[in-house]
Amino acid sequence: MPARVDEGRSRGYIIPIGGAEEKITEPAILQRFVDLCGGSGARIAVIPTASQRDETGPRYVEVFQGMGVADARVLPFHTRADCERADLVDELEHASGVFLTGGSQLRLSTTLGGTPAGRSLRRLNAQGVHVAGTSAGAAFLCEHMIARGDEGTSPRANMVNLAPGLGLTNHVIIDQHFRQRDRLGRLLTALAYNPFAVGVGLDEDTAAFIGPDGMLEVRGTGAITVVDPSDLEYSSMSTSRNSAPVCMVGVRLHILVDGIRYDTRTRTALTN
C-alpha cells in the first residue's frame, strides 16, 4: 500500500512518462513537472539508478537548469549501500520534486527496494513531494511493476513478469513506450493477473499527471491507452498454459490524448 498521508497533508503528484520526452524544443512535460515543484525555486533530485550511462543524471540536471531551476542535483544511488548513506538520503529529504530516469526498472526495484532511500521516496510523496519517472522510472512508480515482457497485441500466458515496484499507487499498472513497442498484450496480461487495477499504457513523449485525488490528466504529443478490467466477465488466465492466448471478456479500453482527464478511482473519462 502507498504510504499513509498525515491529516491535513496532501499527497504529491505521481507522474509516469512514456519515455523519449522532448527535452529541448518544447519540453512541455518536463516544464509542467518543474512548475509543480516550485519553478525556479524547485529543488529537484535526479535519481539515475535505472541507467548504466554516466551521462544520464547530469543530462537531466542540465535540462532542468535550462528551465531556470537553481537547485537540481544527481543523487547517485547506484548500489544498495548508496541507498543506506545518510548524506544522500538527507539530500533526498529536502527535495520538492524527484525525477527517476529510464534504463531498467529491475535495477530500480532491486537497488532501492526496502532501503532508507526507497522508504524516503514513499514518505516524501505522501507528504506532498511530486515524483516523476520516465520509461523504466515510470514502470517503477506503481505497486505492481511490469518487470519485463514480450511484444504483441494479444494477451498470452507467461507473456509478462511482474515484480514489486515503489508502490506510490496501487490503482494502476503502468507500461511505457506503449505504441512504439506494441505492448498492449503484455499490459492486458498483467491485468489478467491483477484485474483490480487500471492499466495505463504511455506512448513516448506522453505523461500521466496523477493528482492526489486520483485524477489523471494527459500531457504530451502521443496517447495514453487506459485498460479498465473492472467489468471483466471472464478470463482464461487460470487455465492457459505456456504461451497460449488468454481470453478476456468485458474489458473496457480508452484512448486519451493531451488535455483529457481520467478518474482512476471512479474509472470515468472526462472529455471536457
Catalogue the long-range contacts made by 58-65 (C-beta closer than 8 Å, 24 or more residues apart): 60/99, 60/101, 63/23, 63/24, 63/27, 63/30, 64/30, 64/34, 64/99
Confirm whether 243 is a catalytic residue: no
Task: Write down the catalytic residue from 204, 217, 235, 240.
Answer: 204
Amino acid symbol at 160: V
Confirm whether 21 is a catalytic residue: no
CA distance 211 to 125: 11
Task: Write down the catalytic residue from 51, 104, 135, 235.
Answer: 135
Task: Write down the catalytic residue from 171, 177, 217, 235.
Answer: 177
Confirm whether 177 is a catalytic residue: yes
Other Cβ atoms within 10 Å of 82 Cβ, number: 17
DSSP 64: H
Output b/e per residue, 11-41; b: 16+ Cβ within 10 A: bbbbbbbbbbbebeeebbbbbbbbebbeeee
Strand 43-47, strand 97-100: pairing: parallel
State the cell numbers at 98.
524527484
CA distance 155 to 186: 6
Q: Which residues are catalytic?
A: 135, 177, 204
